Amino acid sequence: MTDAVGSIDMPDAQDEAPDSKKTRKGGKRAKKGPLKRLALFYRQIVAELRKVVWPTRNQLTSYTTAVIIFVVIMIGLVTLIDYGLGHAAKYVFG
């Protein structure tokens, strides 16, 4: 599957020709300047961002709430373990 810009995985038609005497390094990239490559890069970024399924406001709120609750629970668990091990170390080593 190729996108509108083309795919890096697919070789160029000129590269497949066995009777071609000259060899090109870099395929299509060798002919483009740095500004054209940068523009291609940004076009590819925009194309990929259009494929993203963005969450709704309700989904985002519920996901954020779930993450904050999980982090608070983990902080409490690590705090209890640290407190318990600290008292155990004081008991063992005086």
Residue ranges of domains in the chain: 55-93
SS3 5: coil
Residues 6 or more apart from 32 whose CB is under 8 A from it? 40
Query: Is 53 exposed, middle or buried (CB count within 10 Å of its CB: 0-12, 13-18, 19+)?
Result: exposed
Place of tokens 């810009």: 5
Mean pLDDT rounded to a whole number for the chain? 83
Per-residue pLDDT at 31: 74
If pLDDT is split at 50, 70 and 90, which confidence band does 45 have?
very high
pTM of the model: 0.50
Going by C-alpha positions, the residue among 34, 40, 54, 53 that lies closest to residue 4 is 40
68: pLDDT strictly greater than 70: yes
Per-residue pLDDT at 94: 81
